[in-house]
Amino acid sequence: MERIYITTPLYYVNAEPHLGHTYTTVVADTLKRYYRSIGYDAFLLTGTDEHGDKIAQAAAANGLDPKAYADRVSDLFRSTWDACGIAYDHFIRTTDGYHTKFVQSVLQKIYDAGEIYFGEYGGFYCYGCERFYTEKELVDGKCPDHQKAPDYISEKNYFFRMGKYQQRLIDALQARPELIRPERYRSEVLAFLREPLEDLCISRPTSRLQWGIALPFDSNYVTYVWFDALLNYVSALEHRGGESIAVLWPKANHLIAKDILKPHGIYWPTMLMAAGLPLYDHLHVHGYWNMDSGKMSKSLGNVIRPLEMKARFGMDAFRYFLLREMAFGQDAKFSEEALVTRINADLANNLGNFVSRALAMQQKYFDGVVQPLSANWASEDVKLRDIFAAAEFDLKSQMEELQFHRALEAVWSALDHANRYIVQTAPFTLIKDAEKKARVGELLHHLLEAVRTLSRVLAPFMPETAVQLRDLLALGDDGLNAPWGQGFAAGHKINPPKVLFPRIESNGKK
């Protein structure tokens, strides 16, 4: 059986789940469901990143010790994904005991191999930010956040010999152009690698930070948060046991946004090389969601929360919008207006009306009982079937490129055709002529085949809607895959229509 291993970033617990986190997680879930639907064994990992300065500071600001604070926010991420119906297979926390052990074993291994050394590091340090700044990052010699000149401090730390792997990484990126996708992000990493690659400082002295994984070879230091967090992608598989690392790791597909390209495109592959592990299969990088007004931020009060969206618009409608509106790889704008427009146009009008018309006529003219098809199909019937088959084919190739918006466009163009088929074949007029009743039965049968196909192809994107469609057709899961024209047994009775997507008034009310 083919396999795929899909991961989201581990989200920092200093913020609560918002639009950005939800997008990546919904994409990961959609991919997992899609690969399952084409027969893969698909495994989805998500979780939380809990160590380091930022978290220690956020915990202090909330008057909690870091672990208690991380427990609270990590639970919130997990329960949010549960409520959103995200089908993750494992939720990892970087504070999990097995992860800590794994990080320490990798550190020890590469330390023993001479890949980590102790050295002096000097730089401009801002105590407000608790981090070093390069001269380029300073504005008029000051920290741009704190408007204060940083102190020059020199500190002893442990370094990973990352620079040594520069050429190997360039070679890998050239030999495997698909390693980082879309192409512009691979080019960005290659451009970065044109400058000499420095070694990576992978420790923080406990005098400055205690909230981290202790270095196994020096208890005066904790591990730098990225060196700890990236290893989750492998520690989760090791924890799962059995053949997991051997069979799943080489099939790893990481999903991230462009903000964390450098750690995933440079630190992580060089760490894997040092640890003697194969590289991931793909790193898929998407753009940023921005608000109409610019950035999304707590202080501006414009943070989009997934559970609020779910409560107001329904999870499937929100998923549809996220996947349809953003071209994976590019930035996109979020506005409630755009969301409402899409729900009304694409879901309520197009999809919703199509399904309810087909089902209502079936009910009204035949009491819900599906009518037989004759042996010779009319050309418009063949065309309808072929258009849906072509859309499904197109969808498959778009999914390989993670072009979710195009995959959905393909389905909606078939749906447009199906709506035209109703208008052109006009079953509502033909029914007035008793001699045409058998033809009306056929037309409706083809429409129900379209609904059945929609249920199958939309399942990865809108899982609840897919189940609703299947239930309206009174079919089980196994009824979805039969070829067009063979989905309904003789005498099969379907259910009356119901409103799938109520129109939303401009004030956001259904």
Q: In whole angstroms, how far apart are CA 104 and each of 212, 223, 436, 454?
A: 11, 9, 76, 49
52 lies in the binding site for ligand MSP (CB under 6 A): no
User: Catalytic: 298?
Assistant: yes
User: Burial level of 208, CB count in 10 A (0-12/13-18/19+)?
Assistant: middle
Q: Which two tokens stand for residue 479?
A: 């009824």
Is there a catalytic annotation at residue 99? no
Residue 252, judged by CB atoms within 10 A of its CB (0-12, 13-18, 19+), counts as buried
* Contact track, ligand MSP, 221-250, x by CB under 6 A: --------xx-x------------------
Q: Binding pattern to ligand MSP, positions 272-291, x when CB under 6 A?
A: ----------------xx--
CB 98, min distance to ligand MSP, A: 16
Closer of 62 and 356 to ligand MSP (Cβ): 62
Residue of 257, 275, 378, 467 that binds ligand MSP (CB under 6 A):
257
Q: Is 321 in the site for ligand MSP (CB under 6 A)?
A: no
Respond yes or no: is residue 510 known to be catalytic.
Answer: no
10 binds ligand MSP (CB under 6 A): yes
Annotated catalytic residue 201: no
How many Cβ atoms sit within 10 Å of the Cβ of residue 27?
22
Contact 217, 107 (CB under 8 A): yes
> Does residue 84 have an active-site annotation?
no
Smallest distance from ligand MSP to CB 292, Å: 13
Catalytic residue among 298, 383, 493, 510: 298
Q: Decide: is 445 part of the binding site for ligand MSP (CB under 6 A).
A: no
What's the token pair of residue 273? 């090389």
Nearer to ligand MSP, 74 or 344 (CB): 74
Question: Is the Cβ of residue 21 or residue 445 nearer to ligand MSP in the bound state?
Answer: 21
Known catalytic residue at 18: yes
Widest Cα–Cα separation across the chain: 93
Residue 254 a catalytic site member: no
Task: By CB under 6 A, tell whether 259 contacts ligand MSP.
Answer: yes
Q: What is each CA distance from 425 to 353, 378, 388, 439, in whole angstroms?
A: 17, 11, 17, 10
Whether 295 contacts 331, CB under 8 Å: no
Question: What tokens does 170 get?
Answer: 């360039």
CA 104 to chain centre: 29
Which of 4, 5, 6, 12 touches ligand MSP by CB under 6 A?
A: 12
Instruction: Using CA atoms of 481, 482, 485, 486 in order, give the dihedral in degrees to the nearest 10.
Output: -140
Instruction: Indicate which single residue of 29, 49, 115, 449 sits in contact with ligand MSP (rule: CB under 6 A).
Output: 49
Among 9, 269, 306, 314, binds ligand MSP (CB under 6 A): 9
Instruction: Compute the distance between CA of residue 366 and CA of residue 380 in angstroms, rounded to an integer.
Output: 22
Distance from C-alpha of 323 to C-alpha of 26, rounded to nearest angstrom:
8
Residues known to be catalytic: 18, 21, 126, 129, 143, 146, 295, 298
Query: In the complex, which residues of this chain contact ligand MSP (CB under 6 A)?
Result: 9-12, 20-21, 23-24, 49, 229-230, 232, 256-257, 259-260, 288-289, 296
